Amino acid sequence: MKGLNLVDNFEDQQLLLREITHRINNELASAISMVSLNAARSKNKEVKIVLAAVNDRLYNFARVHRALEIPLHRRSMDASAYMRSLCQSMSKSKLAHRGIELILTERSVRLDSERCWILGMIISEWISNAARHAFSPAGGTIWVALSFTGALIECRVIDNGTTNGRIEPRQGTKIVRALTKALNGEVTQKFEPTGSTSIVTFPG
Protein backbone atom coordinates (compact mmCIF):
# COMPACT_ATOMS: atom_id res chain seq x y z
CA MET A 1 0.00 0.00 0.00
CA LYS A 2 1.45 3.35 -1.03
CA GLY A 3 1.74 6.22 1.45
CA LEU A 4 -0.56 9.20 1.19
CA ASN A 5 0.96 11.89 -1.05
CA LEU A 6 -0.15 15.26 0.31
CA VAL A 7 1.94 17.48 -1.97
CA ASP A 8 3.08 17.19 -5.58
CA ASN A 9 5.76 19.85 -5.96
CA PHE A 10 8.46 21.74 -4.09
CA GLU A 11 6.39 24.91 -3.68
CA ASP A 12 3.56 22.95 -2.05
CA GLN A 13 6.06 21.19 0.21
CA GLN A 14 7.43 24.55 1.35
CA LEU A 15 3.91 25.86 1.98
CA LEU A 16 3.04 22.80 4.05
CA LEU A 17 6.28 23.04 6.03
CA ARG A 18 5.68 26.74 6.74
CA GLU A 19 2.17 25.95 8.01
CA ILE A 20 3.49 23.22 10.32
CA THR A 21 6.23 25.57 11.52
CA HIS A 22 3.68 28.31 12.19
CA ARG A 23 1.58 25.96 14.32
CA ILE A 24 4.62 24.76 16.31
CA ASN A 25 5.63 28.39 16.94
CA ASN A 26 2.13 29.11 18.24
CA GLU A 27 2.27 26.08 20.57
CA LEU A 28 5.68 27.13 21.92
CA ALA A 29 4.45 30.69 22.46
CA SER A 30 1.40 29.33 24.31
CA ALA A 31 3.59 27.13 26.53
CA ILE A 32 5.93 30.04 27.34
CA SER A 33 2.96 32.26 28.19
CA MET A 34 1.44 29.58 30.46
CA VAL A 35 4.71 29.00 32.34
CA SER A 36 5.22 32.76 32.76
CA LEU A 37 1.69 33.18 34.10
CA ASN A 38 2.09 30.38 36.65
CA ALA A 39 5.46 31.75 37.75
CA ALA A 40 3.90 35.17 38.33
CA ARG A 41 1.03 33.67 40.35
CA SER A 42 3.21 31.45 42.54
CA LYS A 43 4.22 32.73 45.96
CA ASN A 44 6.89 30.05 46.36
CA LYS A 45 10.37 31.37 45.57
CA GLU A 46 11.75 27.95 44.61
CA VAL A 47 8.83 27.32 42.25
CA LYS A 48 9.45 30.71 40.62
CA ILE A 49 13.13 29.82 40.06
CA VAL A 50 12.30 26.43 38.53
CA LEU A 51 9.61 27.87 36.25
CA ALA A 52 11.97 30.66 35.16
CA ALA A 53 14.52 28.01 34.14
CA VAL A 54 11.83 26.07 32.24
CA ASN A 55 10.74 29.26 30.49
CA ASP A 56 14.31 30.04 29.49
CA ARG A 57 14.71 26.56 27.96
CA LEU A 58 11.41 26.89 26.08
CA TYR A 59 12.38 30.34 24.80
CA ASN A 60 15.67 29.02 23.43
CA PHE A 61 13.92 26.04 21.82
CA ALA A 62 11.67 28.61 20.12
CA ARG A 63 14.73 30.58 18.97
CA VAL A 64 16.25 27.44 17.45
CA HIS A 65 12.98 26.65 15.71
CA ARG A 66 12.69 30.19 14.31
CA ALA A 67 16.28 30.05 13.03
CA LEU A 68 15.47 26.86 11.14
CA GLU A 69 12.38 28.22 9.41
CA ILE A 70 12.39 28.40 5.61
CA PRO A 71 13.08 32.05 4.70
CA LEU A 72 10.12 33.83 3.14
CA HIS A 73 12.30 35.91 0.79
CA ARG A 74 15.68 35.29 -0.75
CA ARG A 75 18.30 37.86 0.22
CA SER A 76 21.97 38.13 1.03
CA MET A 77 22.70 37.72 4.75
CA ASP A 78 25.56 37.38 7.23
CA ALA A 79 25.99 33.63 7.62
CA SER A 80 28.35 34.00 10.57
CA ALA A 81 25.79 36.03 12.55
CA TYR A 82 23.10 33.48 11.68
CA MET A 83 25.31 30.59 12.85
CA ARG A 84 26.17 32.48 16.04
CA SER A 85 22.50 32.92 16.93
CA LEU A 86 21.69 29.29 16.09
CA CYS A 87 24.60 27.92 18.13
CA GLN A 88 23.82 30.12 21.14
CA SER A 89 20.20 28.99 21.16
CA MET A 90 21.11 25.31 20.75
CA SER A 91 23.66 25.59 23.55
CA LYS A 92 21.14 27.09 25.97
CA SER A 93 18.28 24.75 25.04
CA LYS A 94 20.03 21.38 24.52
CA LEU A 95 23.65 21.37 25.67
CA ALA A 96 24.63 23.58 28.59
CA HIS A 97 22.53 21.75 31.21
CA ARG A 98 24.29 18.51 30.21
CA GLY A 99 27.78 19.96 30.58
CA ILE A 100 28.36 20.09 26.82
CA GLU A 101 30.21 23.22 25.69
CA LEU A 102 29.59 24.57 22.18
CA ILE A 103 32.38 26.70 20.68
CA LEU A 104 31.90 28.58 17.40
CA THR A 105 34.84 29.82 15.32
CA GLU A 106 33.61 32.08 12.56
CA ARG A 107 34.70 34.20 9.63
CA SER A 108 32.51 36.78 7.95
CA VAL A 109 30.66 34.97 5.17
CA ARG A 110 27.68 36.24 3.20
CA LEU A 111 25.20 33.76 1.79
CA ASP A 112 21.85 33.69 0.08
CA SER A 113 19.24 33.29 2.86
CA GLU A 114 17.97 29.97 1.49
CA ARG A 115 21.48 28.50 1.37
CA CYS A 116 22.11 29.85 4.85
CA TRP A 117 18.98 28.05 6.07
CA ILE A 118 20.11 24.80 4.43
CA LEU A 119 23.52 25.09 6.12
CA GLY A 120 21.79 25.74 9.44
CA MET A 121 19.72 22.58 9.02
CA ILE A 122 22.86 20.50 8.40
CA ILE A 123 24.77 21.94 11.35
CA SER A 124 21.74 21.60 13.64
CA GLU A 125 21.45 17.90 12.73
CA TRP A 126 25.14 17.25 13.45
CA ILE A 127 25.08 19.10 16.77
CA SER A 128 21.90 17.29 17.83
CA ASN A 129 23.37 13.95 16.74
CA ALA A 130 26.49 14.54 18.83
CA ALA A 131 24.41 15.62 21.83
CA ARG A 132 22.25 12.47 21.60
CA HIS A 133 24.95 9.88 21.00
CA ALA A 134 28.49 11.12 21.63
CA PHE A 135 28.68 12.11 25.28
CA SER A 136 28.65 10.45 28.66
CA PRO A 137 27.09 12.25 31.68
CA ALA A 138 30.47 13.96 32.13
CA GLY A 139 29.75 16.12 29.08
CA GLY A 140 32.35 17.38 26.61
CA THR A 141 32.85 19.90 23.82
CA ILE A 142 31.48 20.49 20.33
CA TRP A 143 33.36 22.84 18.01
CA VAL A 144 31.73 24.51 14.99
CA ALA A 145 33.98 26.31 12.50
CA LEU A 146 32.76 28.36 9.53
CA SER A 147 35.34 29.49 6.96
CA PHE A 148 35.95 29.95 3.25
CA THR A 149 38.86 29.31 0.90
CA GLY A 150 38.69 30.84 -2.54
CA ALA A 151 35.27 30.02 -3.97
CA LEU A 152 34.48 27.32 -1.39
CA ILE A 153 32.73 27.62 1.97
CA GLU A 154 33.46 25.02 4.62
CA CYS A 155 31.74 24.26 7.90
CA ARG A 156 33.13 21.72 10.39
CA VAL A 157 31.45 20.17 13.41
CA ILE A 158 33.89 18.36 15.70
CA ASP A 159 33.20 16.69 19.05
CA ASN A 160 35.33 14.93 21.66
CA GLY A 161 32.66 12.43 22.62
CA THR A 162 33.86 9.02 23.79
CA THR A 163 30.67 7.01 24.20
CA ASN A 164 31.05 3.48 22.81
CA GLY A 165 28.59 2.26 20.19
CA ARG A 166 27.87 5.66 18.67
CA ILE A 167 24.82 5.45 16.41
CA GLU A 168 24.41 7.63 13.35
CA PRO A 169 20.66 8.02 12.70
CA ARG A 170 19.72 6.82 9.21
CA GLN A 171 16.97 9.38 8.67
CA GLY A 172 19.26 12.21 9.76
CA THR A 173 21.93 11.01 7.35
CA LYS A 174 19.45 11.01 4.45
CA ILE A 175 18.34 14.53 5.32
CA VAL A 176 21.92 15.81 5.45
CA ARG A 177 22.73 14.21 2.10
CA ALA A 178 19.65 15.77 0.48
CA LEU A 179 20.45 19.19 1.93
CA THR A 180 24.09 18.94 0.84
CA LYS A 181 22.96 18.06 -2.67
CA ALA A 182 20.82 21.21 -2.67
CA LEU A 183 24.01 23.19 -1.92
CA ASN A 184 25.91 21.39 -4.71
CA GLY A 185 28.30 20.43 -1.95
CA GLU A 186 30.13 17.47 -0.47
CA VAL A 187 30.09 15.88 2.98
CA THR A 188 32.86 13.94 4.71
CA GLN A 189 32.56 12.34 8.16
CA LYS A 190 34.99 10.50 10.41
CA PHE A 191 34.00 8.66 13.60
CA GLU A 192 36.70 7.63 16.07
CA PRO A 193 36.79 6.49 19.74
CA THR A 194 37.98 9.97 20.74
CA GLY A 195 35.36 11.92 18.80
CA SER A 196 34.00 12.69 15.35
CA THR A 197 34.49 15.22 12.57
CA SER A 198 31.79 16.20 10.05
CA ILE A 199 32.56 18.59 7.19
CA VAL A 200 30.35 20.13 4.54
CA THR A 201 31.98 22.03 1.67
CA PHE A 202 30.09 23.89 -1.05
CA PRO A 203 30.50 26.75 -3.56
CA GLY A 204 29.99 30.24 -2.14
* Alpha helices by DSSP H, the chain: 10-41, 45-67, 79-90, 113-133, 170-182
Last residue of a domain, one of 70, 90, 124: 70
Residues 115 and 198 in one domain: yes
Q: pLDDT tens across 42-76, in order? A: 989 999 999 988 888 888 888 887 778 777 778 99
Query: Is 129 domain-assigned?
Result: yes
Classify strands 100-105 and 76-78 as parallel, antiparallel or unpaired.
unpaired
pLDDT score for 53:
86
Half-sphere exposure of 19 (CA within 13 A, CB side): 6
pLDDT score for 8:
54
Residues 50 and 84 in one domain: no
The answer to whether 163 and 134 are in contact (CB under 8 A) is yes
Residues 88 and 138 in one domain: yes
| Average pLDDT of the chain, as a whole number | 84
- Is 70 exceeded by the pLDDT of residue 11? no
Which region among 75-79, 153-157, 167-171 has the lowest average model confidence (pLDDT)? Answer: 167-171
Residues 64 and 150 in one domain: no
The CA distance from 167 to 103, in Å, is 23
Residues 199 and 121 in one domain: yes
Residues 20 and 81 in one domain: no
The CA distance from 67 to 43, in Å, is 35
Residues 94 and 188 in one domain: yes
pLDDT score for 163:
57
Domain of 89: which CATH number? 3.30.565.10
Query: Is 95 domain-assigned?
Result: yes
Residues 50 and 115 in one domain: no
Q: Which domain holds residue 129?
A: 77-204
The CA distance from 120 to 84, in Å, is 10
Residues 53 and 82 in one domain: no
How many domains in the chain? 2
